Chains A and B, each alone.
Chain A
């Protein structure tokens, strides 16, 4: 792919791999650029982009560290963050295990079906026995391998005295196999190997769909994760700096925080003036000016010059970790939620098992031998095995999550969709959720020339106001003017030269309300006011939710005045000045009243509330912890995906219920046949495939609903 870079001769080459998450990889050009440009850097052997996961794996010599590589990536235009060694590996292994089981079950099903069809079409005597034995030889290892996920889960449930969908499945499969073996050994007419393997195959398809949905959205969310400082440069006694990972930091250490770096622990600034972006902790967008003696927290991003920080709290003692603990505790209640498939099986399994037992007893009483009674009882179990039921839920949820991804919403798993469908109250955070959470300037005062100068000046800066201005200008289609000798003074602003005139942008000369910047070109000045606008479709979204029977409220940690203004604009009740604990208490109160609250928030102060709510959604600009706590993440400037998520979730549950009805309907038709001993393996196979196809077909209708409601 790329020509290897020649290494300095005689130098022992020591290579290591580092992974970076690079959210801005969007096209083939980005892949080509990264894979071609990076190896030109001395010490980089090769770079490989994983487009789906938005990650770059760099194979480089040990002389380069994370910081060098991050800089190199930024130099070619990509924001990157190092990530720890494949955090999704465990999930990945589960998915692979299921895919392998699907392949094995598929192989077994096809070959056994081949033999079974020969038997059904009239093979008899020695040929039939041979085919049954061949089927047994294929089926037993296949069932042992492909059935493991179900057997393991059923055992686990039984051990804790519970029942789930996997218990009736495991009993059905094992009994069908045992009966078939007995029939084969005694030269019987019917063997049910193909039913047992087919059942496993269809059910594994359902599991695979479920797993694919999880990994697909996790990759999307994982790409946005990882902005918390994972290491810090610690001053050594001799004055040099050493990179130390976050876990090994100790309070009392003096660290150097470069511009653009995130803090890895809490501390007090000792030297340097600048500003930190606390958006991750508070959701507040205005950078906080800091100087010697000011306290700064882990997760804050240094936006200006370098700071020397004396650490006061590390690892588990940081303010961030405290919130994480609250979130952990709040999230416990959610794990108690019982998914619809398991709720259905709690009703279904006892009915089916008692039916089978009744059939056995009735036939024994009627005078059929124990062999025939047992065959009939097992046939009842096979025909009622919840094959379509196993597919009913995942098929609908996968199609729904696909439709939602197209609309800019990533749902983490199926249980999230089930809970989203049940919400009846919506609580919104203000900053970053109802509003964009990023300062946007009023640029109406500028003409075309000054606009292009302003863009030329600000486009390279990492200051939030500069970024906001540059974004606003770019969205207006402004082309940047060539500004030379750009310099950024921390806390002051940017200066440069444009066609011999001195240009600058920075703090206004006179004090202004709120955020403002002053643009100077030669002797002329313009003042640009910044504000944090409410998302364009916030009103419509709240109205949509209202029409769905969901009442909205604002629950914000901000000061009451700005909250009141937004609340009266949108016409919803609001509560301001709520601490994370207070938000949590309010949610618990709502839940105690029997409500099922939906929490929409972004800041880490919303984290505990997001974890405690019945369902929760965070914008993709939210803090990492909030995204992890939320059930779903929406992308972009529009709030509409929130209302859309509820609509689709409710449609999904409707389809799931229809699927259950179909599945149970088929069983009701087939059970009498089974009870009267008329089910042959052929009928079992047809019933199973047709009901599965109907369920999958019905679920596909959800894909269309995404297009209808634009």
Chain B
């Protein structure tokens, strides 16, 4: 019998172009996604060296980071405009397919890959963006790269990569009612810290993971990078295959059945060994809220903001102190007492149709709190259209939310969607770093459900109590 293998090893071995003692492996890339911010210098590098894009048909571009989500075609910022125009010119010149701002397929790069059926189990997928790990939800090795690597992939369709260590994140039991995939990944990072995944590719396993929908799996894999891991993935199963079936770039007919057989064989074998394993009980996870300036600074909504003394080392205590100052929070104050000014529902973590549905279910028939400015930004044009077909836009709009066009928006505030200095936002995105949503802006990461309630109440309320209340 052959040695049992993890999905990570199986995919890796299939993509080896060249291996040499003392060097990283030269790995073939099946899908290269490109966006406007991390690609201009890469294309410029090609031009300077008279190089071409080796496999334009394995390369797909969109614009998402800079795009306005309102008054779509009035890009006031000249530099943003230039960057978007540059992508257009580059794609034209090098023969790369582009979903530009007017294209029906436009959207956040990690939302449209799966949506178009470009993301498959067993692929190696890269993009000049750290949340490329999202695509791992399908059982692909997907990771973010820098601009030099973007240029390298464009020119050679390969990358030099040290063979990864494997980390099993085993999620036992089932998530409770009202507890979401977002809460799960935040709880994992809160428990093990923002660097436990460094140097590893994570495979998420266990009963709770199997029960998640594809969109929920994407939310989990998306935030692997916030645990320090470059990639995170989930072995494919029926849920995966059903999601892919019928998507535009998915194999069709008999080819699909053949593909499914191959994909099924990718799943980690019984008894395969990992370099490390950590576990968490899903039953114990509560709705989470981050209080600090990295995603690991996170507690259950029922908890209080930690004190600096709770840090284990001098440096940790100082870090907590600094975060409290930046966030303008008192040690020991309850999470529910934090007053909010903004709510953002969007980003590649939580802007898919199921996210919007869940948020809409909560706000339906209610009104946004007078102190709150609330924004919904669908992850792609097709998410937006699908949501509108169900009337979700009206649910949000009549509750007092702004309903915007697709893009990264307030996740990183590169367009005009910026939180003003000193103001506070409940956000369904993935990073609460200092200044992420605007200079001196304060971010609290939550699930779409928790964000929706926060918009209505003006503060954090446990979704489980909220939905139990008679309306």
Are these two chains actual partners, yes or no?
no
Q: Which residues of A are at the interface with B, using a C-beta cutoff of 8 A? A: none
